[in-house]
Chains A and B, each alone.
Chain A
């Protein structure tokens, strides 16, 4: 039998044709899987300046090298497309935007593998709402008319009923995705979201409500015996570790308190870095008041996810699928100055239920509250909503407006960059985004590394990008292997363990250098797609706020980002990447060195 290096399931919703595409050996060798391989598909398929809502923009669900295998925490699925949210300062293309990648944990990627694929590539647009049902090599495109408009929590159960079989793994959008809110998310198991960069809006633009997949197969492994030894060791490895205990007990919510203490939290639209009332809904309070159980992704020993319910007050009975996480708890919590735990739970629930990225949502609403407070806009501009800090009613009304793209919600649904351009009057100084993508829940004043992560990320402001070149390359590769960051940082796998797995699975003979190179290659490929769209170093800029307004409260009072020092840091970054300092384009030498000659 000839070696097969993986199959992509290609589905065109316009022609309703499906096709198996064999991935070339070279593409697997160079781009690995997950985020890397999906980026190569994206590069091959899109013309520069392509409208993200065009039929030709592929929406890619990619599993990774480790997916479907019993490696702890190897559950991630990477969703890749051209972003409908981001944009450069200037470009010859009207619809220029960055690449978009967004990861989800859970069970979807492994199931793609069981069905016999590396990934699913969806192009075209259905004339009416549909869902896709995949059972091994049987692919059906079915009417989703009954479900259009349904919020995600209800849909999660309704769809299971429709499928009549709980063994399907599903991904779906809510009303926000259907309406193409530029930062709409894609959900999985009601409590997991591929939130960032508007992947849900692209799904909505295709009239695609959901995808269900189920498979009977198993992933291929070149050296199964060696793999098995490694997997056995890896499972024992996490037992009893400090980090394992921490994730199980606190999840990412553990960072709420510690980040606030360090002054690195997004508070009051990033004006401050510490939130006095954070103890009202940090991990300890959530454990006491909300959380009922911890849950985990496929083969994961960390169970960082926490579900529960609001037990008192006017939001009593609100289901908590997984909150607060650090990001969600901060972005609609401290960033909007909410002080009550139940209010925060409700805001997160509604955002997820509509299918909106909670990070961008909290950021956008924070911007609007500040603009109103500064009297740059008034209550009429907000369609009568008296939007205020720590005011759950007005915040919930605005969430609904955005999800429905109703009135001011339409403008706000395009993100904080578009919003500030429309409002003007200097509001761009506190529009907290890079390239149109909202910053996440980490403030920059006290932490220039986070600033590097945000400014140089290929998907616009991204907290998971990494604060230096090495970390960025490693993270790009981890997203390609489908391994969770939480299992590879503190207390988790080291690089060597990951390399051993790669070699056992693929039969290659990677060393540390190949590992680094692969990540660097993927990162540079993304960069080159962005360069093609017209992005330059001018787009790698932080909002003015961090340079001009020092933190006015908390233990880090007075902290401010030094403009010259940060510029110097960024310059060093470009140099160590071998990128041109004004165009930010990788040098020819670098591209050749990375076997990316085809990009020259």
Chain B
């Protein structure tokens, strides 16, 4: 092993991790101990190696284009960083110099880390290394990305780049989830990709206005590809050396690793094992070493099945062996982690990585895609019991009931996985997504990676713009690419010929094919928290490259209506100055003011994005990721490039609470008129101090989650109008913003900055834990009522609503299993988007709070992912306990 640069403090838990792997090797059907999951605690070590190497490289490359500098830095890193193979590991690859340490990303931001180094992370590295890290930070202090961004913000926007107001952004954490197209990478091998690069480079026209940019891109991509191959070779070398000094089974293991790492990733993988190893190298470099981006949405069972089938048929692989190899990958994925700024850590409670592994779903033809590997993946998850990867099941009408059965077994283990996604909604969702963008800026898409999908929408849509666009596209389709960027929109719509004849022509010419469009869409998978994406296509969100989250707090906007836009925390005018609520005569006036507040907040987000995005785009291109995307190389543009059809999204916080609030105001203030608006404002501003009876009355008004139309329709309506409002604001590319309903664990955080609200929630209490999850303890009519309530919100309009349900294991086993399966089937017929289950009793949880030592392996699901219960803060723990337990044996009275 090469010299470790990591700090010399003892790493307390390492032996456990190693022995787990040994166990796995020896028995191959192991019961695995809790794997190391990196978090901000005293056990985390900081590995300074990455920071040092990267900075070394950046110092040398000053003055060169950023894209090249990034590629060169990655190259330097992959060639120089410490690598190791733990005894018994069959899938290799490490991202810091020791298993228990985490690298840092000084080129991105330094400020928060500086603070932590003197605070919580005091023990994470020794003085010598701390000094060295600080001198590195010295270099970056005035030129890291975050700093550049903050300096560029005009004064009046500075308030909106924090966490206090209705807008909350974790700007100091890079994200930008994407789904790499591994199918392509596997079939080409990096050699093939390099071939593509040189092919397209040779066809570059000297008259191309972007020729310089494109050349840089190709250079950078090539550097990354070669560095990756070299990285794999280093493991081959290390494994060979280890093989020489060991014997028996472990020698054999090293030899296998050496053989595999000297073939891939340059050559297409041939065996299941090779494919998994290729995948892991790509994933490791893309999501960890090069850039801490979020997520991996992969249809694992589809991606690896050909390799599995081939070997299984040839008799060189058994089902059990496949399961244990998957377990090795799971352990690897669970081992990955990142140091994140405190704010982000609170958003991603438990330091999750959103490494989604998807099973189920349909094939290109729309038939059930379940295969043996789908089962193997569930088995691996049940055996490994790691909190990562996050398992997702695409549930559809024709799904194999045996797979559902097994998925229920998996949920019943209390691991909180798989999360279940509605396949039909996923498909429709992708259709809608493009359609929504279509109306205002359809043409931008036509030249992008979406043409076929877009075409399908154009066909489906009846809107005038869509029709015009369709006509135009039909006329110019073969040349859209060149024309798009040069022709003004108006000219284009005037060139219409009749669409139908042209479409027929295009079809005959094989240019457009509905089946192909659908085939493409049917390959969707969940990415990040609960968003859907297409492999090789989506560099997601307005954050193609941008921060983890720009969050719109629905609850805060509502507060601003009560206080006319004044933030009560600091007395500043942070919202819009809407009229005094006491003057409102009707509920509609209130709602109108509310929507104005939302619009105002979104406008601030748009302004911040406009400053932020160009900086990110220049400074943080993703040449490595571009290797794995479908069209980046052919187009000569980096994967983050905006023509890639990314859209700007706004995440939401507390919509369910907001709807509950609206119901109270509508009912008590405007309909019954039993409470005056003045009273309500005062009650909220005084945190219901001395007004308990009023609070009780507020609590008695219908709450979301009880199949009560009064409030359920308010939520549906609020989603609808908020979505319209948000879409009416354009981002800096002139595209409408999209309202996304998915926000991870941010509700804990967002709750702390919200004052008391009319729904009876007191100051600082958390918000509901999902965009469709009823507020804790307020859904009292049982799990069927929750689903009914949720079914009233259109999942294809505002996307990604997250619904948490908690069941006792007893509901999922024995004779109840069938009932649960039926429950799930009904959920599916309601066309909701997502559901996930916590499956533990609150008694267990309470006991775990008192005796964490007895429950260290206890996994719970925290909206979107699983975390170790004992790792969570007491507040979060309390909330999980409170989340209404759907208890059938509930005592009926009292």
* Chain A partners chain B: no
